[in-house]
Structures are given as C-alpha cells and as structure tokens.
Amino acid sequence: MDKYCRHGHEYTPENSYTHDGVVQCKECRRVNRNKSYRRHNTPPLVRGLEQRKTHCVNGHELTTENTYQTFKDGKKDGRKCRQCNRDLSAEWARNHPEYMYKNRSESQMRHRYGPDYDLAARDALLKEQGNACAICGRTGLKWGKGYNDTWHTDHEHGKEGTHRGILCAACNLALGKLEPYMDQVLAYLAKHKGNSPNGIINCQDRGYDGMGETI
C-alpha cells in the first residue's frame, strides 16, 4: 500500500479511512468539500484556487529543484517528480544489463574509433584477422575488463575517431610507444640486422623476455 495519497498526504491512522475496501484520505476529502463549497459560494474572480501538492505518490518532496513542467497539446499539464524518474531509470537499467552494456560500449566506441565502429564491426574485424592479434598472432583473448588477457582496438595514435585493427595488450602497448619513432626503429633494426641469425633480433638472446623485463 502507498504511504501517501495521490496528492501527497500521508496515510496516517488519523488521516485515513476505508471505503468499499479502498483506503481514502481524509485531508483530500476535506479539501474537496472546501473546493465544492467555494465553487458554489465564492465570487467568480477567486474561483479555481487549489492547494498544490507537497509530495509525490512515493513521498518525494515536490520542490522546485525536484520537479519539471509537463505539457499536453501545447498547454501545461502538471508537474513530474525528478527523483521518481531517476529511480525508474535506475531500476530499468538493473533489469536490462545486456542492453546497457551494448549501449554504453557502442557509444564509447563510436566516440573513440569512429561513427561506423560498433560491436558488430569490431567482431567482424577480429574474425577477418583469423581471431588473432594482427601483429603477433596471439589467440585466446576476450573482450571486457582487464588488460593482459583482453583484446585492444588499435587506432591512429593522437587522432580520435580512427581504428585500424585488433591487437593483444603487448603489441598495442609496444606500437603506441614505438610508432612515433618508427623511422628510427627501422634504421636501428637495419643497422643491427647482421648481428643475429637469419637477420632476426632475438630478445631472449640479449637478456630480455620480450615484455621489457631482464632475464
């Protein structure tokens, strides 16, 4: 049972009664009787004055900050409670987590990687790469929270609204660090090409594990 009537009066034992199995508000009955009396016994110039509600049906105070005006057919149609709207929105979000995840994720993706990049485009791009990192070929990662074991969308660094491919965490981090110096990196590799078998620099032979840690 509601704690307040539709005009915001609390259903206390002193302010309520039951009629035909329905709880009624004594204050509303008193106000309606007074309105009826004034309508029949008040000069026309002062008719139409009504007592404004102080609380919504859920007990939230109808202050100026907590209400907004509604309109119907271009005319004012009463007030709505902002807190009730927030509560309804929060409840709907709790009951539809998959929709909220999709909507939030795609909004962030369009902002970061371009208006044509959504979950479907992301999955299609990964499938096109053979479900593997576009650089090292690593597989078995997932989308979602985390870092080392999740997929990362690569974009043109320094420019929002672009995307290029799907990478693992290590390749995405390395590319972000080295891309601004790619000419120097290629020159360095070309310079030291003959110092390793088959022209390949083996990080572990030089005392690194490939993730920047000395071994």
- Please write the tens of the pLDDT for every residue from 25-48: 888 888 888 777 666 665 554 444
3 state SS of 144: coil
Question: Residue 166: in which H helix or E strand, if any?
Answer: strand 165-167
Q: Strand 16-19 and strand 75-81: pairing?
A: unpaired
Query: Domain 115-199 adopts which CATH fold?
Result: His-Me finger endonuclease fold (3.40.1800)
**Long-range CB contacts for residues 85-90, cutoff 8 Å, separation at least 24:** 87/58
Contacts of 82 (CB under 8 A, 6+ apart): 65, 66, 67, 68
Task: Find how far residue 157's CA is from the centre of its chain.
Answer: 25
Ordered by start, the domain boundaries in the chain are 115-199
C-alpha span between 167 and 137 (Å, rounded): 9
- Please write the tens of the pLDDT for every residue from 130-169: 999 999 999 999 888 888 889 998 888 777 778 889 999 9
**Burial (0-12, 13-18, 19+ Cβ within 10 Å), 65:** exposed
pLDDT exceeds cutoff 90 at 85: yes
C-alpha span between 198 and 73 (Å, rounded): 79
- Report the half-sphere exposure of 80 (CA within 13 A, side-chain side): 12
**Highest mean pLDDT pick, 176-180, 197-201, 208-212:** 176-180
- Can you tell me the mean pLDDT for 44-67? 73
Burial 158-184 (b: 16+ CB within 10 A, else e): eeeeebebbbbbbbbbbbeeeeeeeee
